[in-house]
Amino acid sequence: MERLLLAIESSCDDTSAAVLRGNRVLSNVVATQKLHEAYGGVVPELASRAHQSNIVPTVHTALEQAGVTLDDLEGVAFTQGPGLMGSLLVGTSFAKSLAQARALPVVGINHMEAHILAHFIADTPDQIMPNFPFLCLTVSGGHTQIVRVNSPTRFDVLGETTDDAAGEAFDKIAKIIGLPYPGGPLVDRNAKNGNPKAFAFPKSNVDGYGYSFSGLKTAVLYFLQKQVKANPNFIAENMEDLCASVQHTIVETLMDKLVLAAEELGITDVALAGGVSANSGLRQTLRDVGEAKGWRTFIPPFQYCTDNAAMIGMAGQFRLDAGQVAPLNAAPKARWTLESGRG
């Protein structure tokens, strides 16, 4: 029988717990912290307090939905970083204490590694998975990276953003347009009925496989300041076209470097991961480009795109299979790069 694992995710503003049997998800419960909406962004101190009140009930629900008890568990995985220190501390303390009390192996997981490994969750027996090495465009609220995934535990980051992450760009531009936090999904929804070519915004031009999104944010800000001066209703009147044009620019920028990397490295298994992989424009564009280029493309189901504990569990199974466990003094890491190498 494959290992029954409890996984905990608490790196940012969602408290999540999942139970996995091998690579199958038996439950995946996410408690979203709505309270940050009022502040236009995540307030770290409030996030850690909310994790503290959510964590026990969330784990309880995850066990119940999976139809198992603490006695059945054979391991615990938790997000050790990167993320907000106060938030990570809650999950780390909870997971280590539970593991200590129950004499279970416990493993600390890199959140970005887990986003990538979500592709190996097998909710259906005929699930098609990428072959190693594959390329993964990892796009979240804090990261934008092109990663060569060498094995389930070894990664080469080929390029990343020098300033804002793609999700951050969506959220900051959404805020300029007047949409509430987190704005990414709302830009996506509005973009569906808009013209992506209505407004031409500049695409950044960074060397190699790097990205930059702060210039786009500034360009949108100046453009709107000018337009609103001439017509105070400009944003409301052009909401859908604005969202479609911004989304189009971000998606094109992301895809340009991904295509370059795939062609230069000769890799044809290409995947998306992270919260922004929920974006319908990006999903469709990857499918279209993949079809034209003869790639096999991999896009996680929605529930495994944004933050969730199921992906932490998947990464945990790989790390425990490799014999890795967290030392008793394991502490969270606010910054933590992916483990490189070819092993």
User: Would you count residue 75 as binding ligand KG4 (CB under 6 A)?
Assistant: no
Beta bridge partners of 148: 135, 156
User: Would you count residue 152 as binding ligand KG4 (CB under 6 A)?
Assistant: no
Distance of CA 2 to the CA centre of its chain: 26
Cβ-Cβ contacts under 8 Å for 297 (sequence gap 6 or more) = 270, 271, 272, 286, 287, 290
Decide whether 73 or 282 has the Cβ nearer to ligand KG4: 282
> In the structure encoding, which two tokens stand for residue 153, read together?
């535990």
Stretch that binds Zn ion, among 2-10, 140-148, 254-262, 320-328 (CB under 5 A): 140-148
Stretch that binds ligand KG4, among 26-34, 183-191, 223-231, 288-296 (CB under 6 A): 183-191
Binding mask 187-206 for ligand KG4 (x = CB under 6 A): -x------------------
Q: Which does 95 bind (CB under 5 to 8 A by kind): Zn ion, ligand KG4, none?
A: none
Helix (H, G, I), strand (E, B) or coil at 33: coil
Q: Quick one: which of 60, 91, 61, 68 has its CA closest to 5?
A: 68
Q: Which does 276 bind (CB under 5 to 8 A by kind): ligand KG4, Zn ion, none?
A: ligand KG4
Decide whether 136 or 177 has the Cβ nearer to Zn ion: 136
Beta bridge partners of 135: 148, 270
CA dist 320 and 76 (Å) reads 10
Helix (H, G, I), strand (E, B) or coil at 112: helix
DSSP symbol at 38:
G
Residue type present at position 66? A
Question: From the DSSP assignment, how many helices (H) and strands (E) are in the chain?
Answer: 9, 10
Decide whether 242 or 276 has the Cβ nearer to ligand KG4: 276
Q: Which of 164, 171, 188, 307 binds Zn ion (CB under 5 A)?
A: 307
User: Would you count residue 278 as binding ligand KG4 (CB under 6 A)?
Assistant: yes
Q: Which of 274, 300, 313, 332 binds ligand KG4 (CB under 6 A)?
A: 274
Sites of contact with ligand KG4 (CB under 6 A) = 12, 140-142, 167, 170-171, 182, 184-185, 188, 274-276, 278-279, 306-307
Interacting residues toward Zn ion by CB under 5 A:
140, 307
